[in-house]
């Protein structure tokens, strides 16, 4: 991603990142979380330069993420998945298990704690990823298409969960999402990417009226339909 | 129930050789020694292969390192075996960490190939290095000791007590290894190993340094192989490259682990208890008499392993034992199938 992109995030806010396919949304997430390194520019999290840090170091600083295509620890139980996350903040397994239990309950997975993660439904796997990410004690949570592939009901439940995380746990959240109906009502601020460039940045009401956004994203979608 | 089974197994393992010894038999003590030795190696391999999910086909290098370090210390410096074992474990862990760290960027087949490559490099080094005796290796002179305790610590059993002595030494090593592995499985290490196995990217995303934990996993494996190598060297009274670097020191434990149940604490133990006696029975029945010298015993042994692997690729421990055992106690009642583990 050669193009410079300046995105600043205020604390305890809810940010949305949208853009058409191939815009570079996931690439940006990968750069922020250390899975890719940008060719140019700097990434700063809370005053720390994280441009060249490895994923595990960035997690230690308080950034957690989920994945567009879910990545659970399939052969471990749901609870053990979350325990692995909680061990980021403690070396004691008993302490981590207690924290994991809380988060399993918080994300509504209490009946499935002892089920191997591979046997969960997609909606539950996505919840599990969120629980595991929360267990690492993040200050910034990056959700990569947390609603994709879900039924309308499941998506509504997921939106509710994300809202609760933001309000009850006071965590800054940034979502990548295709579904406009999810991003717009939740976000304080929306950034639009197209071909690796920021083309708009503002409150949702402005974004939906922005000419460039309509032509690059909304317009394209309408044209496809 | 679990405790009772464990207690019965312990008593059986301690008591079974005694009547045999009193009647002057030693064969079954040696079989028991080999079962335990391979169970220990399987427990060690289960860490890197079963929990961390990295296929390591070269752990016999550390078996050899352990055997050589303890033998050298004993032959050249007169250091007792138990001290030699400590030194062997330390040397193997350091060497393993240094050798493995560069490999941890490799994944899947490439990691496996690299571990084999290290073993291939170790062979000519072992065969030509003068200091460790080259292809002749080292001869460990049996030194009789006064007391039973001194004999045990020096791992130098001689005469009719030899098979029994090594059996009990291997039993102690087995018990220590099993307890250590049970602890590893429940510790942070165990969780992190399995996380890296199931999804390396996701593991890094929750703060796990995948390279570090792969190195730790393989070093634990190396430590176990080194300790077992020391016991084997003193049992065999010699260390030479073709013997301690033999491929069987990895294939047998790996097969035992896979047959018993890879990633299960007791998997390699069950596998060794089944496979090693079968191999001994095959070689004493089919390997002698009119069929001797044609390798029939090895062919039949191989077929048995293939059958088990085809019948239950996830290992014998993954069979629904809980349900079967539950039925025996409660009769045919409707119970949900026990979830694996």
- Please give the pLDDT value at position A11: 63
pLDDT in tens, B142-190: 877 778 788 888 888 888 888 899 999 999 999 999 999 999 999 999 9
What are A143-154's pLDDT values in tens digits?
Answer: 998 888 899 899
- Residue of chain B whose Cα is closest to the Cα of A32: B205
Domain extent, residue B100, equals 2-330
Integer Cα distance of B44 and B257 in angstroms: 10
Give the model's pLDDT for residue B110.
Answer: 94
Domain membership flag for residue B166: yes
CATH number at residue B64: 1.10.3470
Question: Of the ranges A15-19, B57-61, B175-179, B327-331, which one carries the lowest mean pLDDT score?
Answer: B327-331
- Eight-state DSSP code of residue B336: P
Any A CB within 8 A of B205 CB: yes
Helix (H, G, I), strand (E, B) or coil at B139: strand
B335: in domain: no
Strands A172-176 and A140-144: parallel
Residue B335: predicted pLDDT = 44
Query: Torsion over CA of B160, B163, B166 and B170, rounded to 10 degrees?
Result: -160
Q: In this structure, are residues A96 and A90 in contact, taking their beta carbons and an 8 Å threshold? A: yes
Domains and CATH numbers, chain A: 1-62+138-225 (3.40.50.300), 73-137 (no CATH)
- Minimal Cβ distance to B206: which of A75, A88, A91: A88
Q: Cα–chain-centroid distance for residue B153?
A: 21
Q: Which helix (H) or strand (E) holds A193?
A: strand A189-194
Judged by CB atoms closer than 8 Å, whether chains meet at B191 and A83 is answered as yes
Separation CA A100–CA B133 (nearest Å): 55
CB contact under 8 A, B204 and A56: yes
Reported as a single tens digit per residue, the pLDDT across B218-239 is: 999 999 999 999 999 999 999 9
Rounded Cα distance between B187 and B204, Å, is 18
Stretch among A194-198, A217-221, B140-144, B249-253 having the lowest mean pLDDT: A217-221
What pLDDT is attached to residue A67? 94
Give domain status of residue B39, yes or no: yes
Partner-chain contact A84 B203, CB within 8 Å: yes
Token pair recorded at residue B20: 């045999």
Which residues of chain B are within 8 Å of residue A84 when distances are taken between CB atoms? 191-192, 194-195, 203, 206, 208
Q: Do A67 and B202 touch (CB under 8 A)?
A: yes
Nearest to B186 among A55, A91, A93 (CB): A93
More confident residue, B108 or A6: B108
Label residue B241 by pLDDT band (50, 70, 90): very high
A136/B197 CB distance under 8 A: no
Which residues, 6+ apart, have CB-to-CB distance to B115 below 8 Å?
A: B55, B56, B57, B58, B59, B103
Res B129 pLDDT > 80? yes
pLDDT for B339 equals 45
Q: Chain B residues with CB inside 8 Å of A75's CB? A: 194, 197-198, 263
Query: Within an 8 Å CB–CB cutoff, is residue B203 touching chain A?
Result: yes
Alpha-carbon span B126 to B135, nearest angstrom: 7
**What gap in Å lies between CA A77 and CA B188, rounded to an integer?**
15
Whether residue B338 lies inside any domain: the answer is no
Q: What percent of chain A has pLDDT over 70?
A: 90
The closest of B132, B130, B58 to B95, measured between CA atoms, is B58
Q: Write the residue in B186, B187, B201 that is nearest to A71 by C-beta.
A: B201
**Partner residues linked to A116 by β-bridges:** A77
Measured in whole angstroms, the distance separating CA A53 from the mean position of its chain's CA atoms is 19
**CA–CA dist A217, A23 (Å, integer):** 10
Phi, psi of B78 (to 5 degrees): 70, 25
pLDDT tens digits, A67-123: 999 999 999 999 999 999 999 999 999 999 999 999 999 999 999 999 999 999 999
Which residue in B186, B189, B221, B222 sits closest to B208, CA to CA?
B189
Assess contact for B92 and B223: CB atoms under 8 A. yes
Does B192 sit within 8 Å of A56, measured CB to CB? no
> Beta A44-45 vs A48-49: how paired, if at all?
antiparallel
pLDDT score of B329 more than 80: no
* pLDDT for residue A225: 40
Check CB contact of B337 with chain A, cutoff 8 Å: no
Greatest pairwise CA separation for chain B in angstroms: 68
Per-residue model confidence (pLDDT) at position B293: 67
**pLDDT number for residue B148:** 79
- The nearest alpha carbon in chain A to B206 belongs to A85
Q: What is the mean pLDDT of residues A35-39?
A: 92
CB contact under 8 A, A73 and B207: no
According to DSSP H, which parts of A136-172 are helical? 152-169
Set of chain B residues whose Cβ sits within 8 Å of the Cβ of A72: 198-199, 202
Residue A218 has pLDDT above 70, yes or no: no
* Interface test with chain A among B202, B204, B338, by most A beta carbons within 10 Å: B202
- Please compute the mean of the pLDDT values over residues A33-52 and round it to a whole number: 90
| Residue B119, both tokens | 């073993």
- Contact yes or no for A75 and B198 at CB 8 A: yes
| Residue A22 pLDDT > 60 | yes
Yes or no, beta carbons of A135 and B206 under 8 Å apart? yes
For residue A21, the SS3 value is: coil
Contacts of A136 in chain B (CB under 8 A): 206-207
Count the neighbouring beta carbons within 10 Å of the beta carbon of residue A114.
11
Per-residue pLDDT tens for B80-121?
A: 999 999 999 999 999 999 999 999 989 889 999 999 999 999
Instruction: Tell me, yes or no, whether B200 lies in a domain.
Output: yes
Residue B69 Cα to chain centre, angstroms: 18
Q: What is the mean pLDDT of residues B210-215?
A: 96
Residue B250 C-alpha from the chain's centroid: 8
On the question of pLDDT at B39 being above 70, the answer is yes
- Nearest residue, CB atoms, A93 vs list B188, B206, B209: B188
Helix-, strand-, coil-residue percentages of chain B, each rounded to 5: 75, 0, 20
Count CB-CB contacts under 10 A for residue A25: 24
pLDDT in tens, B265-289: 999 999 999 989 988 888 887 767 6
Kindly report which listed range (B19-23, B79-83, B171-175, B248-252) carries the lowest average pLDDT score: B19-23
Write down the mean pLDDT value for chain B.
89
> Quick check: B297 pLDDT over 90?
no
Question: Where is average pLDDT lowest: A134-148, A195-209, B301-315?
Answer: B301-315
DSSP result, B299-328: HHHHHHHHHHHHH-TT-GGGS-HHHHHHHH
> What percent of chain B is modeled with pLDDT above 70?
93
A40-48 contacts, C-beta under 8 A, 24 or more apart: A40/A2, A40/A4, A41/A4, A41/A5, A45/A140, A46/A139
3-state secondary structure at position A125: helix
pLDDT (0 to 100) of residue B111: 94
Residues of A contacting chain B (CB within 8 angstroms): 33-35, 54-56, 59-60, 64-65, 67, 71-76, 80, 83-85, 87-88, 91, 93, 96, 114-116, 129, 132-133, 135-136
Across the interface, of B188, B195, B205, the residue whose CB is closest to A33 is B205
A213 to chain B, closest Cα gap in Å: 32
Q: Is B269 part of any domain?
A: yes
Contact check, Cβ <8 Å, A75/B208:
no
Rounded to two decimals, the pTM is 0.90
Q: Taking CB atoms and an 8 Å limit, are B206 and A91 in contact across chains?
A: no
Euclidean distance between CA atoms B194 and B324, whole angstroms:
28
CB contact, 8 Å: B105 with chain A? no
Query: What is the percent of chain A where pLDDT is above 90?
Result: 54
* Cβ <8 Å between B188 and A87: yes
pLDDT: which is higher, B202 or B135: B202
Contact A117, A74 (CB under 8 A): yes
With an 8 Å Cβ cutoff, are A73 and B202 in contact?
yes
CB atoms within 10 A of CB A205: 9
Do the domain assignments include residue B340? no
pLDDT of residue B310: 83
Residue B286: its pLDDT value, please?
75
Domain count, chain B: 1
Interface test with B, best of A34, A83, A85 (most B CBs within 10 A): A85
Q: Is residue B336 part of a domain?
A: no
Collect all residues with Cβ–Cβ distance below 8 Å to A109 and sequence separation of at least 6: A78, A124, A127, A128, A131
Contact residues, chain B, for A64 at CB < 8 Å:
205-206
């Amino acid at each position: 991603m050669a193009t410079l992109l300046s995105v600043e995030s205020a604390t305890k806010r809810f940010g949305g990142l949208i853009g058409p396919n191939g815009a570079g949304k996931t690439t940006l997430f990968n750069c922020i979380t250390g899975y890719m390194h940008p060719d140019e520019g700097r990434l700063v999290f809370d005053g720390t330069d994280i441009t060249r840090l490895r994923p595990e170091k960035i997690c230690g600083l308080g950034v957690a993420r989920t994945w567009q295509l879910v990545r659970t620890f399939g052969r471990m139980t749901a609870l053990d998945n979350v325990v692995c996350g909680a061990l980021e903040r403690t070396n004691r397994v008993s302490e981590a298990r207690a924290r994991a239990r809380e988060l399993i309950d918080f994300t509504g997975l209490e009946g499935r704690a002892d089920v191997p993660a591979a046997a969960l439904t997609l909606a539950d796997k996505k919840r599990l990823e969120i629980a595991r990410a929360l267990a690492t004690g993040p200050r910034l949570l990056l959700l990569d298409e947390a609603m994709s592939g879900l039924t309308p009901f499941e998506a509504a439940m997921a939106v509710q969960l994300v809202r609760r995380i933001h309000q009850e746990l006071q965590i800054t959240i940034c979502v990548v999402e295709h579904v406009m109906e999810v991003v717009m009502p939740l976000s304080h601020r929306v950034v639009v990417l197209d071909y690796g460039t920021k083309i708009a940045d503002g409150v949702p009401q402005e974004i939906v009226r922005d000419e460039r956004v309509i032509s690059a994203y909304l317009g394209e979608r309408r044209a496809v339909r | 129930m679990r405790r009772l089974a464990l207690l019965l197994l312990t008593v059986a393992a301690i008591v079974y050789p005694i009547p045999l010894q009193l009647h002057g038999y030693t064969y079954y003590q040696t079989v028991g020694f080999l079962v335990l030795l391979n169970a220990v190696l399987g427990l060690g391999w289960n860490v890197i292969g079963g929990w961390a999910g990295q296929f390591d086909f070269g752990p016999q290098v550390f078996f050899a390192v352990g055997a050589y370090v303890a033998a050298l210390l004993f032959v050249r410096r007169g250091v007792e075996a138990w001290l030699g074992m400590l030194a062997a474990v330390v040397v193997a862990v350091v060497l393993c960490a240094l050798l493995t760290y560069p490999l941890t960027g490799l994944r899947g087949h490439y990691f496996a190939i690299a571990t084999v490559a290290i073993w291939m490099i170790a062979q000519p080094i072992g065969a030509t290095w003068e200091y460790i005796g080259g292809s002749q290796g080292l001869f460990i002179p049996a030194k009789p000791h006064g007391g039973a305790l001194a004999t045990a610590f020096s791992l130098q059993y001689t005469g009719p007590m030899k098979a029994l002595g090594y059996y009990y030494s291997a039993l102690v090593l087995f018990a220590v290894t099993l307890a250590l592995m049970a602890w590893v499985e429940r510790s942070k290490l165990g969780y992190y190993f399995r996380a890296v196995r199931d999804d390396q990217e996701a593991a890094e995303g929750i703060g796990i340094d995948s390279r570090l934990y792969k190195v730790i996993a393989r070093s634990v494996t190396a430590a176990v192989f080194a300790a077992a190598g020391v016991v084997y060297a003193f049992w065999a009274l010699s260390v030479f490259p073709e013997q301690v670097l033999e491929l069987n020191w990895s294939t047998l434990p790996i097969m035992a682990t896979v047959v018993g149940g890879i990633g299960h604490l007791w998997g390699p133990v069950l596998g060794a208890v089944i496979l090693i006696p079968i191999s001994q029975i095959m070689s004493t029945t089919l390997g002698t008499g009119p069929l001797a010298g044609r390798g029939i015993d090895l062919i039949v042994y191989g077929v048995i392993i293939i059958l088990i692997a085809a019948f239950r690729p996830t290992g014998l421990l993954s069979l629904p034992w809980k349900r079967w055992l539950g039925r025996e106690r409660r009769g045919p009642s409707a119970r949900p199938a026990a979830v694996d583990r």
